[in-house]
Amino acid sequence: MLAIPGKACGDCSFCCKALEITQLAKPAGALCEHCRAGGGCGVYATRPDICRDYECLWKGDRGLGSQLRPDRVGAILMEDPDSDEYRAVCDPAKPLAWRTPLVFKHLVAMAKTGRIVVAKAGLKSWRVYASGEWGPCI
């Protein structure tokens, strides 16, 4: 995939912390031991396929502005591979980062398109509705 100008990871390592990576036995919210200070992967050439294949939606979507880079707002926007959900995944240490106005506005806009929108942080999750209301998933 061609890189989009202005959409480099830079010093963001948010996915290497917020997401669970079973191949590395890394739980959600724990910084991967291979993360380098200032960004980047210390085992880049031999990183697992799951890391090799992963790209957050922010990197691949020209419509998501620079302010929405995951480390800047504390949430990764992503499609759930196992369902129709559109998700904002947060670091469990800052579980309500998805309520950041910029992120919340985007989530409500996605809900208005008919998507099922869910914010997640570790084992906690919340549904966000087109009306702007939200509540815990049960």
Site residues, ligand SF4 (CB under 6 A): 9, 12-16, 21, 32, 34-35, 41, 43, 47, 51, 55-56, 58-59, 69-70, 76
CB of 10 to ligand SF4, least distance (A): 7
C-beta atoms surrounding 88 within 10 Å: 28
Q: Measured from the CB atom, is 46 or 83 closer to ligand SF4? A: 46
CB of 129 to ligand SF4, least distance (A): 26
User: DSSP string of 17-84?
Assistant: HHS-BGGGTB-TTSPPTTBPTTS-BTTGGG--HHHHH---HHHH-TTS-GGG-HHHHTEEEEE-TTSS
Q: Measured from the CB atom, is 76 or 110 closer to ligand SF4? A: 76
CB of 44 to ligand SF4, least distance (A): 7
CB of 85 to ligand SF4, least distance (A): 18
**Running DSSP on this structure, what letter comes out for residue 124?**
E
Structure tokens at 14: 């948010």
